[in-house]
Structure 1
Amino acid sequence: MASVHEDIFLEEQEKSEGDIKTLRKLWVYIRKYKFLLFLTFLTLAFATIIELALPFLIRYGIDEVINVSHTFNVSQGAQNQFVEDENGPYTLEKRSNNYYMINNETGESIQVPPEEYAEYFDSAIRRIRLFSMAFIIILAGQFFLNYAQVLSANLVGQKVIYNLRKDLFSHILRLKYTFFEKNPPGKVTTRVVNDTQNLSDFFSEVVTSLLKDIAIIIGVVVLMMVLDFKLSLYTLTMFPVIIVSVIIFRYFDRRAYDKVRTRVSALNSYLAENLSGSTVTKLFNQEERKRKEFDYMSTKVYKANVEQMYVFAIFRPLMSLLQYFTISLLLWFGSILLTDGQTTFGTIYAFTSYVDMFFRPLFDLAEKYDIMQSAFASAGKIFKIMDHPKEDFGKGKYNTIERGKVEFKDVKFSYDGHNEVLKGVNFKIEPNERVAIVGETGSGKTTIIKLISGLYRYNEGKILINDKELYDYDLNEVRKKIAVVPQDVFLFSGTILDNMRLFNKNIPEEEVIKVSKSVFADEIISRLPQNYNTVITERGSTLSSGERQLIALTRAVLFDSKIIILDEATSNVDVETEFLIQQALTKISNRVTIISIAHRLSTVKSSNRIIVVHKGLVVEEGTHNQLINNKGIYYDLYRLQFEKS
């Protein structure tokens, strides 16, 4: 079981571009909002300064406002008249519910009348009140600064994500056809939706808070040194241990996170694939094998999550241990310095707050680091798609097709650059001619159709549309005049009317119904519950194959296509619908060129001409009867189908 679906891990294991290169590409989108960025960083700077200043202010409040010793001196010329003097020998003290002036030098005590010491306390209360009001105003200012900073940062993030998502989808619409053959829809959807959302989380939760955390860590160290150099040296002895612990955590967390991300993505891919193929699983009784495969994949995700859990389980308790150990060192040495009169109680309190402030961002580091990794991984994948070259839409010398004339001149083509699928194809289709292209599987029929539509670039030769080389046209305009009706017609969610006119409300409903009647689609659509307003579910699964093809045929005629290509369009339809399609083709063949690719040769008898492709070359051309009489490859194919039937 160990080898089951290991290949689906490969894409996630590919190394993306470096974070610096990805950040430079992201900066192209960010720098458009310089004013918001300036506002974000300005408010962030002031909010951070206030946050760093709060312990400093509290220290001042404790030492200079609350825990202040009132020192006095005797005024000259007045017995027992005391005035506040920081150099005075008298200190106000309360003893037995009375207040006394104590001479610190002689020990003399003089009782102070109540009306006098009340004045001193009123002064102290006023100082505390003013300090408290100033402190509240500063906190309110910090609140509004934080609000402005979060709002502006998120606004930048949402604008960046909006533009990036819009540009990504626009770029995807212009990518080469080969991109969509190699990349399943689920993967592309993940890039447009999930990966851009990861970037949104990065802007809202990491960018500004990360800068703030770095500023706080640096600011804490600087302010502790300013407050008390000696005490800060004792406290900072633990910081090298903390930094080493964070670096070790970062290494192991990145490894664990990458493993989780890889395996979750692999499980999602496996699940999406097997849900799509659930019918095959049921029909071939593969439920037990699929259950074991899913169990194997799920177990790998479980083990990866457990590994990451071990990293987190060690990191957070370790940080808590280091934090309290640092506070213990601070209190130990702080009490010694306080006893010796070398520091104050307010300073010790401020240091305790700064230690807590230092560890706070470290506790958030794990979560923010994962978000950051996820964001850079997502951005790398987004820009990897945006680095894919856009489709070449030609020289644009000509912008429209007047007539449906098609000519191949010695056209050669290879998908991989080595094995030629077309080895020198030559044929000419005149305007308003009805031509069928037939051949065994792998002969190159579908490749011819893709080359006419410009989905692939041919390697050698020329394809001419109305005697002008295909790539001299603007391919956007060419495709408006070339309609392809595939075997499996794709319909969008909406009504039948919406799909016929491709949601173009400028095309009146009456015109749609008129065209629908002209190609006999109205006969089938009128049987539906709400006729043209019948709602279609995803991909039109509620409609039959024939109904979908009649809708596509109506769409082709409605948009005035000059060339209509049917790629096995009647291979899976019932007899009645096939008859209606053949009638419709006969009716419109006098004004459009019709190219049919078919395996069922009975459906191409009415064609003006049949082109037989064999091993990448055109080997026969002619009507049905001519080719039967020639008894070549077409005759062999027809006889084989006739004998089987």
Structure 2
Amino acid sequence: MRTAHTDILKEEQQRSYSNRKIFKDLWQYIRKYYAILIAALIFLVASTVVDLTIPTIMRYVIDNVINAAYKFEKVDDTFKSTPNGEYVLKHENDSYYMINDKTNEKIPVKDEFVKNVKTGALSEISKYSIIIITLFFFQFLFNYGQVIFSNLLGQKVIYDIREKLYIHMLHVPLDFFTKNPTGKITTRTVNDTQNLSQFFTDVLTSLTKDVAIIIGVIIVMFKMNVRLSLYVTIMFPAIILVTWIFGVLDKKIYVKARTRISATNSFLAENISGAAVTKAFNQEERKRKEFYDLSHKLYKARMQQIILNGLFRPFMNVMYYITISLLFWFGAGLFKQNLVSFGVLVAFTSYIDMFFRPLFDIAEKYDIMQNAFASAEKIFKLNELEEEDYGKGLKKEIDKASIKFHNVSFAYEKDNYILKNVSFEIEEHENIAIVGETGSGKTTIIKLINGLYRPQMGDIFIGNTKLEDYDIKALRRQIAVVPQDVFLFTGTILDNIRMFDESISEEEVINAAKQVHAHEMIEKFPDKYYTKILERGSTLSAGERQLIALARAVIFKSKIIILDEATANIDVETEYLIQKAMENLIGKVTILSIAHRLSTIKTANRILVVHKGRVVEEGTHNDLMEKRGIYYDLYRLQYETN
């Protein structure tokens, strides 16, 4: 059985983009900010160089300062400090003496000499300590600069991605919005861009630094001592391979876990909203079992993630200690052969630690990275949707507000035709009503007139021009649709009538409201035209929203006004006001009304009766009642019900 949850599972499992393609698509946004990228890379390189330099300085201090201070060569009964000296200063029984490390010859030395040796060594150590502290300060500055420029780059890229996505969504066909839930679309434009932002903020900066450190460590180690590096790095290929395998496995498990989370969230959202129905039909036990199944699958996916992550860190710890052991094992042998210094061994210990730390960091942030890549893929897929066909743009102005359908057939889904060979004509300034049963195709006719869909067969004319020859954007500015559920934006009543176009004066708005009898209603509010409206106009009644929509149609000088069951859910008083408003517009604009209440369309010049996708009757109210056809049956049924 096909359910909403099944659709989500299918969607989440369709990861068709490689990470390489995602990086390639991201690069199209990043390269616009080349200067910021270069600045971030300069700070990255500088920070990495400082990180790699500190162990090298420590090696130099150990080998050339500390060690050299206690190895000397004899020059005319004096001693000169040198790393290659044969004499070593020894202390025994409260006295110092020199001993030749080859001949074991002992030479007494004075306490003053020993004091001078220690003072010189401490002076050198202090100097290099200051250098190291200075390097740590510059390391802070370089890291700070890298973070600032990397985040600046990331925020600019995210801004561009979010803006492009929103603008693109404004131009995709209406069909996309009717086939996809609002929550899903909102998730793409808000949550997924936020996930991508987290990648730039938390991952990209550290990831680039981690890669630079790993490469830099290997280069410096081989430059310092090739033979010891070969012994130590023998495990590195295996470590990198294991890290890559971990990434592949983690990606698969992550997709599975994300799938289960989406399915569970969807189930909860649906069933919380439908709790009353669940209780009414005593379905609590069945829903409990469904939720248990979804929750158990999520639990299993999460446990797989925990087990994989639990294996990776201990394994990497073992690899770390094996590498350190190799350093001590082979390093000790080379040290005895004077092929490597003690300072090199200390430096290698630091570099091995520096090599492993980025691997742990990458593993810990892999989930964030996969989450960002999954979100990026969905964003880029949305950007690949074809934009709406806005026509040939040969004509912008409606010269004659007449409408003609000629053998029009239309289907939302292939071969499932809603309209079948429909033909009719509406003259300019005529007042026409369309009636029919639910699902007969009335609203579809409105959508075709407004250019929201294109018919598979037949032609539609506005005036003497085919619909596809118009600039559809310009055409829509001249056609006003007042739906049953009017959508109002967050703002004031004034804003919503003039659609936030400040070039339209308040006086013009008031005149438009007076024409449709909305002025008296608006004046009753404490703030009048500056009354705040919440999202969708939830603080207003259905009738009040209808009157505002009619005022909106007048202010933009619409040549065709379409009422899509505008009086279906309003009170009698507001219905009367709307009828009076329409009377003011009759003869000035072309009016097309889709009506559910047949009593509201008696004054129409003509009534078109649509049945199963065809126009089957046409005439005035009295004509159709005399025919005793479908209209007669609908009217009688509604009258008897009332």
Q: TM-score range by the shorter chain?
A: over 0.9
Contact 1:39 1:152 in 2 (8 A): yes
1:307-318 alignment runs, 5 A limit: 307-318=304-315
Q: Residues 85, 474 of structure 1: CA spacing in aligned structure 2 closer, same or farther, 3 A cutoff?
A: closer
Q: Residues 278, 558 of structure 1: CA spacing in aligned structure 2 closer, same or farther, 3 A cutoff?
A: farther
Match of 2:297 in 1: 300
Match of 1:232 in 2: 229
Q: Residues 592, 379 of structure 1: CA spacing in aligned structure 2 closer, same or farther, 3 A cutoff?
A: same
Match of 1:185 in 2: 182
Match of 2:343 in 1: 346
1:51 paired to 2:51: yes
Distance 2:359 2:297 in 1: 30
Aligned-residue Cα RMSD (Å) equals 2.6
* Cα drift, residue 517 of structure 1: 2.6
Match of 1:60 in 2: 60
In percent, how many aligned pairs have the same letter?
A: 54
1:444 paired to 2:441: yes
Query: Which blocks of at least 5 consecutive residues in structure 2 are unaligned?
Result: none
* Cα drift, residue 103 of structure 1: 4.9
Q: Greater shift after overlay, 104-113 or 507-516?
A: 104-113
1:169 paired to 2:166: yes
Match of 1:199 in 2: 196
Q: Residues 352, 605 of structure 1: CA spacing in aligned structure 2 closer, same or farther, 3 A cutoff?
A: same
Match of 1:158 in 2: 155
* Cα drift, residue 597 of structure 1: 0.5
* Cα drift, residue 242 of structure 1: 2.4
Contact 1:412 1:421 in 2 (8 A): yes
- The one of 589, 596, 607 aligned to 1:599: 596
1:111 paired to 2:72: no
AA of the residue aligned to 2:200: F
* Cα drift, residue 4 of structure 1: 9.1
AA of the residue aligned to 2:217: V
* Cα drift, residue 370 of structure 1: 1.8
Match of 2:555 in 1: 558
* Cα drift, residue 373 of structure 1: 1.6
AA of the residue aligned to 1:8: I
Match of 2:30 in 1: 30
AA of the residue aligned to 1:202: F
AA of the residue aligned to 2:360: F
Match of 1:130 in 2: 127
SS of residue matched to 1:464: strand
1:377 paired to 2:374: yes
AA of the residue aligned to 2:153: V
Q: Residues 323, 296 of structure 1: CA spacing in aligned structure 2 closer, same or farther, 3 A cutoff?
A: same
AA of the residue aligned to 2:177: F
* Cα drift, residue 244 of structure 1: 4.0
Match of 1:389 in 2: 386
Q: Residues 345, 375 of structure 1: CA spacing in aligned structure 2 closer, same or farther, 3 A cutoff?
A: same
Distance 2:401 2:599 in 1: 25
AA of the residue aligned to 2:110: V
Contact 2:68 2:81 in 1 (8 A): no
Match of 1:330 in 2: 327
1:458-537 alignment runs, 5 A limit: 458-537=455-534
Contact 1:69 1:91 in 2 (8 A): no
Distance 2:412 2:289 in 1: 37
Q: Greater shift after overlay, 567-576 or 206-215?
A: 206-215
Contact 1:451 1:458 in 2 (8 A): yes
Contact 1:40 1:153 in 2 (8 A): yes
Q: Greater shift after overlay, 138-147 or 187-196?
A: 138-147
Q: Greater shift after overlay, 561-570 or 136-145?
A: 136-145
Distance 2:62 2:611 in 1: 96
SS of residue matched to 2:617: strand
Match of 1:456 in 2: 453
Contact 1:628 1:634 in 2 (8 A): yes
AA of the residue aligned to 1:169: Y
Contact 1:220 1:354 in 2 (8 A): yes
Q: Residues 82, 317 of structure 1: CA spacing in aligned structure 2 closer, same or farther, 3 A cutoff?
A: closer
Match of 1:367 in 2: 364
Match of 1:631 in 2: 628
SS of residue matched to 2:163: helix
Q: Residues 585, 174 of structure 1: CA spacing in aligned structure 2 closer, same or farther, 3 A cutoff?
A: same
Distance 2:291 2:528 in 1: 44
Distance 2:219 2:97 in 1: 43
SS of residue matched to 2:317: helix
Distance 1:408 1:604 in 2: 21
Q: Residues 278, 121 of structure 1: CA spacing in aligned structure 2 closer, same or farther, 3 A cutoff?
A: same
* Cα drift, residue 281 of structure 1: 4.8
Distance 1:28 1:393 in 2: 27
Q: Residues 164, 244 of structure 1: CA spacing in aligned structure 2 closer, same or farther, 3 A cutoff?
A: closer
Q: Residues 89, 542 of structure 1: CA spacing in aligned structure 2 closer, same or farther, 3 A cutoff?
A: closer
* Cα drift, residue 579 of structure 1: 1.3
* Cα drift, residue 536 of structure 1: 2.5
Distance 1:523 1:4 in 2: 46
TM-score (norm. length: structure 1): 0.92
Q: Residues 516, 340 of structure 1: CA spacing in aligned structure 2 closer, same or farther, 3 A cutoff?
A: same
Cα displacement string for residues 232-290 of structure 1 (whole angstroms, at most 9, x for unaligned residues) = 34323433442343233223212211111111122233333344445655665655654
SS of residue matched to 1:423: strand
Cα displacement string for residues 182-212 of structure 1 (whole angstroms, at most 9, x for unaligned residues) = 1211111111111112222222333343333
- The one of 413, 416, 421 aligned to 2:413: 416
Q: Greater shift after overlay, 490-499 or 205-214?
A: 205-214
Distance 2:81 2:214 in 1: 41
Q: Greater shift after overlay, 494-503 or 29-38?
A: 494-503
SS of residue matched to 1:400: coil
1:210-289 alignment runs, 5 A limit: 210-278=207-275, 280-281=277-278, 289=286
Contact 2:68 2:83 in 1 (8 A): no
TM-score (norm. length: structure 2): 0.93
Q: Greater shift after overlay, 332-341 or 403-412?
A: 332-341
Distance 1:472 1:274 in 2: 47
Distance 2:409 2:3 in 1: 40
Match of 1:617 in 2: 614
Q: Residues 147, 269 of structure 1: CA spacing in aligned structure 2 closer, same or farther, 3 A cutoff?
A: same
Distance 1:88 1:492 in 2: 86
Contact 2:47 2:139 in 1 (8 A): yes
Cα displacement string for residues 494-535 of structure 1 (whole angstroms, at most 9, x for unaligned residues) = 233322222223333333233223212234334445443333
SS of residue matched to 1:415: strand
Query: Which blocks of at least 5 consecutive residues in structure 1 are unaligned?
Result: none
Distance 1:201 1:220 in 2: 28
1:547 paired to 2:544: yes
Distance 1:523 1:294 in 2: 53
Q: Greater shift after overlay, 291-300 or 58-67?
A: 291-300
Match of 2:352 in 1: 355
Q: Greater shift after overlay, 330-339 or 255-264?
A: 330-339
Cα displacement string for residues 72-124 of structure 1 (whole angstroms, at most 9, x for unaligned residues) = 45555xxx44444666654444445554444554624233262x444433332
Contact 1:482 1:562 in 2 (8 A): yes
Distance 1:3 1:306 in 2: 26
Q: Greater shift after overlay, 252-261 or 33-42?
A: 33-42
Q: Residues 170, 282 of structure 1: CA spacing in aligned structure 2 closer, same or farther, 3 A cutoff?
A: farther
Cα displacement string for residues 25-55 of structure 1 (whole angstroms, at most 9, x for unaligned residues) = 2211111111222222232223223322322
Contact 1:402 1:562 in 2 (8 A): no
SS of residue matched to 1:619: strand
Q: Greater shift after overlay, 446-455 or 613-622?
A: 613-622
SS of residue matched to 2:539: coil
Distance 1:319 1:204 in 2: 26
Contact 2:217 2:351 in 1 (8 A): yes
